[in-house]
Amino acid sequence: EHGIVAAITPDKSVVSLAAHVSIHDSTWIADSECTRHITYHSKWFKTKKLMGGLNTVGGKNKIPISAVGQAELNVVNSKGDRKILLLGDVLYAPQLKFSLLSVPAVVKQNFRFTFKRGVCIVNTNQRRSIKAKITEHADLYQFDAEPTSRHQAHVALTGKTKALALLHKPMGHANMRTLQDIPRNNSVLNFDSNAASCSIDILLNESCIFAKSHRAPFYAGKKAARADYPFQKIHSDICVPFSVLSIS
């Protein structure tokens, strides 16, 4: 895996572009001697959990297992359409150099295999029909797949633009009125007036909600009525401390 970062400088502000590029082998091998599905890349997993242990591969070599989970493969069926193939109980072994589809494991799930002139037709329990072609150099049946997760590029703007949401937490979770006074009073140098508005939903978080909870004042000489039934009066300001992560 490689990360590529590029920075370009237009007239008004600096734009930082970041993209994540993953180089991988997209083939899966149908293995009749493999008792469980196994792969070396985490990109295939939809969900996974940590797992220890060793797995024995060819030559009686043992490689460590890091996790196990459900894999989600984007495959092309016999009609040329893209379909999703789900595989359960897949082992994650980063030291492995290939991905194996366990024939015994999928046969237990009602998969069927048909061999025709160098092609293995895999009929899945999800009504998918996949063609696994035999390789010329190793006599192995393999098919191509792609991960369902897609890589995304992100753009970060710097320069004069400072959105109110970015100033909210450093200023002690200031309310919307205080933030809107910033451009009016020129409290921040080089603040872009075009960024002076944002949705209040962006500023709502757990710290703000609990920190700003309050009760009605007890006026002198006024007798406060007691509650007539449970939960009629709730003092939301009397509660245990909330563990909220700081910015740092």
Same domain, 34 and 137: yes
For residue 81, report the phi and psi dihedrals to the nearest 5 degrees: -95, 150
Query: In this structure, what token pair is assigned to residue 59?
Result: 């030559």
Share of the chain above pLDDT 90, in %: 17
Q: Residue 38: pLDDT band by 50, 70, 90 thresholds? A: very high
Residues 114 and 189 reside in one and the same domain: no
* 173 and 135 inside one domain: no
Domain of 139, in residue numbers: 27-147
> What are 51-109's pLDDT values in tens digits?
888 888 777 788 899 999 999 999 988 888 888 899 999 999 988 888 999 999 999 98
Which of the four pLDDT bands, split at 50, 70 and 90, describes residue 240?
low
- 45 and 131 part of one domain: yes
Minimal CA–CA distance to 16: which of 157, 153, 161? 157
Q: Euclidean distance between the first and final Cα of the chain, in Å?
A: 28
Residues 141 and 167 in one domain: no
* Structure confidence at residue 196 as a pLDDT band (50, 70, 90): low
Average pLDDT over residues 3-9: 43
Least confident of 17-26, 111-120, 199-208, 222-231: 17-26
Q: How many domains does the chain have?
A: 2
Same domain, 197 and 90: no
pLDDT value of residue 9: 43
Q: Looking at the structure, do residues 40 and 85 belong to the same domain, yes or no?
A: yes
CATH number for the domain spanning 46: value is: 2.40.70
Alpha helices (H) along 76-159: 103-107
Distance CA(143)–CA(28), nearest Å, equals 5
Phi-psi region of 108 (alpha: psi -120 to 50; beta: other; left: phi over 0): alpha
User: Rounded to 5 degrees, what are φ and ψ at 85?
Assistant: -110, 120
Question: Among 147, 169, 200, which residue terminates a domain?
Answer: 147
CB–CB of 180/163 below 8 Å? no
pLDDT of residue 157 exceeding 60, the answer is: no
Model pLDDT for residues 160-181, shown as the tens digit of each residue:
444 666 777 677 777 777 777 7
Judge whether 51 lies within some domain.
yes
Does this model's pTM top 0.95? My answer is: no
- Residue 112 DSSP SS3: strand
pLDDT band at 19 (very low <50, low <70, confident <90, very high): very low
pLDDT by residue (tens digit) across 23-33?
457 899 999 88
Is 222 within the bounds of a domain?
no
CB of 148 within 8 A of CB of 46?
yes
Q: Is residue 239 part of a domain?
A: no
Same domain, 66 and 128: yes
Query: For the chain, what is the mean pLDDT?
Result: 74
